[in-house]
Amino acid sequence: MSDSTEQKVIAALRKDFEETYRDMDRRISRVQSDLKEIQNLEKLTQEKLGRLSIRESKIENQVRKTDDERKSLCRRLQELQELTADEKALLNRLYCLKADVVQQLAGLDEMEESRELMSDGDKKLLDRMLQGDS
């Protein structure tokens, strides 16, 4: 090859190398820029994840608190139901006692009526018997 051809080839190679170098430099700059953007996005994502984690903890605490309140209300409802059952039993017992008293009063009325029909001697005997019971 002649010197001028060699120089032309070298100049063309140098020009091609310089263009390739500039192109690679632009690509590296773009990659570095993209990398910085990715790092910034990563940082923002980590911050958002941190805030979400805090929110999640708050929600979990609220759920736990609400569940505790629900359990407390269920226990209270059960206590009230038990009290209501006890009250029903007491009310039932009261009705039974009332029925017994009414029956005893009816018996006393019958005794009083029969006492009025008794002679004075029988009345005295009955009074002694009743005093002996008490």
- How many domains in the chain? 1
Query: What was the pLDDT predicted at 133?
Result: 58
In Å, how far are 3, 88, 106 from 95, measured between CA atoms? 132, 10, 16
pLDDT exceeds 90 at position 32: yes
Tell me how many degrees the CA angle 30-49-38 measures, rounded to the nearest 5: 5
Structural domain range at position 12: 3-133
- pLDDT higher for 115 or 101? 101
Q: Whole-prediction pTM value?
A: 0.43
Query: What was the pLDDT predicted at 122?
Result: 72
In Å, how far are 30, 41, 46, 62 from 36, measured between CA atoms? 10, 9, 15, 39
pLDDT exceeds 90 at position 25: yes
